[in-house]
Amino acid sequence: MLVSGFLIILGVVMLYAGGELLVACAKALALRFGVSPLVIGLTIVAFATSCPELAATMTAALRGSTEMALGNVIGSNIANIGLILGTAALIFPLATSARFLRREVAFMMLATVMLYPFLITGTLERWHALIFLAALTFFLVTLLREPDANMEQTAEEVAEMQAAMSVVRASIGVALGVLVLAGGAQALVAGASNIARAFGIGDRVIGLTLVAIGTSLPELATSIVAARRRESEMILGNIIGSNIFNLLFILGMTALVKPLAVAPAVVALDFWMLLATSITLFVLLATREKLTRIEGGALLVGYALYMVFLFR
């Protein structure tokens, strides 16, 4: 138990350090190449912070624990909205745009709804995985071809980044940040899982809660850092992008390696909780094109009640 507690503390420290490094270096790359922070959040940062989910989901599937694998992905997406966006909005209200709602948030909703017909078959097959990966490819190609994928840089921003960080240095920093995040997530998940099993908690609940929260901590760490820097676009891009990557890339790659059996509770409860959380976010953002501190607090309360329900 003492070792597990140490792993949890170590994991939290590594996740915050990795998040600090990743956000700083990702922003530097965005300015260097004239790419908007929103696109960086939707692609590089979203993929990087989803790496722990991929590792945990793939490991669980290969060990035969498909309940934990699916629970991790669905639970991570719920945590991304309820826990992470709720926390970030409490630190700094998150502004968005109608275009972001119509495009990125709408695509996340589409990916969520698209999951249901495959879940009710009882197994996520390899051909399902190919559809997921094709949908993700379409999204990324469309995103990078949009006119607003690039941004105008001010002379001050260019001079600042040229003086502070080279492309090579920023790229190394992103890679190092990913490694630290992945290591921290693994340490935290290992410690939390050991403690949970000692108390007799099942794989599905572990996946939806401890593993999902643990592998979502990279997103939490990067979002807290970005919120302190008032980087609303990067936060929203990171979370929405992570949710899209979780559904299409992580489930796609995992099912491609090993088909995933779907437990009845996933179809009867977990999917609907994910859909309800996604719809709630869309409505809150669409109301004022902003996620306020009060709304962030409401998301956190809702997520806390969901945790109580799972452990009841």
The number of distinct structural domains making up the chain is 1
**CA atoms lying within 13 Å on the CB side of residue 73:** 30
Q: What is the pLDDT of residue 294?
A: 92
With respect to residue 260, please indicate whether it lies within any of the assigned structural domains. Answer: yes
Q: What is the pLDDT of residue 296?
A: 92
pLDDT at 165 over 80: no
Q: What is the pLDDT of residue 67?
A: 84
Q: What is the mean pLDDT of the chain?
A: 82
Distances (CA, A) of 231 to 14, 171, 250, 260: 22, 20, 26, 37
With respect to residue 153, please indicate whether it lies within any of the assigned structural domains. Answer: no
Q: What is the pLDDT of residues 46-85, one digit of tens each?
A: 676 677 777 778 877 887 778 888 988 999 999 999 999 9
Q: What is the mean pLDDT of residues 90-104?
A: 86
pLDDT at 189 over 50: yes
Domain of residue 273, residue span = 2-146+158-310
CATH of residue 23: 1.20.1420.30
Q: What is the mean pLDDT of residues 16-20?
A: 75
201 backbone φψ class: left, alpha, beta (φ>0; ψ -120 to 50): beta
Q: What is the pLDDT of residue 151?
A: 47
Q: What is the pLDDT of residue 5?
A: 79
With respect to residue 152, please indicate whether it lies within any of the assigned structural domains. Answer: no
Residue-wise DSSP of the chain: -HHHHHHHHHHHHHHHHHHHHHHHHHHHHHHHHTB-HHHHIIIIIHHHHHHHHHHHHHHHHHTT-HHHHHHHHHHHHHHIIIIIIHHHHHHS-EE--HHHIIIIIHHHHHHHHHHHHHHTTSEE-HHHHHHHHHHHHHHHHHHHHSGGGB-PPPHHHHHHHHHH--HHHHHHHHHHHHHHHHHHHHHHHHHHHHHHHHTT--HHHHIIIIIHHHHHHHHHHHHHHHHHTT-HHHHHHHHHHHHHIIIIIIHHHHHHHS-EE--HHIIIIIHHHHHHHHHHHHHHHHHHSEE-HHHHHHHHHHHHHHHHHHT-
Q: What is the mean pLDDT of residues 148-172?
A: 61
Q: What is the mean pLDDT of residues 158-185?
A: 74
pTM, rounded to two decimals:
0.80
Q: Is 83 exposed, middle or buried (0-12, 13-18, 19+ CB in 10 A)?
A: buried
Q: What is the pLDDT of residue 75?
A: 92
pLDDT at 173 over 70: yes
- The share of the chain scoring above pLDDT 70, in percent, equals 87
Q: What is the pLDDT of residues 276-303, one digit of tens each?
A: 999 999 999 988 888 999 999 999 999 9
Q: What is the pLDDT of residue 163?
A: 53
> Of 95-109, 184-198, 202-216, 250-264, where does mean pLDDT reach its minimum?
184-198
- The share of the chain scoring above pLDDT 90, in percent, equals 30
Q: What is the mean pLDDT of residues 121-150?
A: 84
With respect to residue 108, please indicate whether it lies within any of the assigned structural domains. Answer: yes
Q: What is the pLDDT of residue 242?
A: 85
With respect to residue 138, please indicate whether it lies within any of the assigned structural domains. Answer: yes
With respect to residue 151, please indicate whether it lies within any of the assigned structural domains. Answer: no
Higher pLDDT, 190 or 102: 102
CA angle 36, 130, 53 (to 5 degrees): 60
With respect to residue 49, please indicate whether it lies within any of the assigned structural domains. Answer: yes
Number of neighbouring beta carbons within 10 Å of residue 288: 12
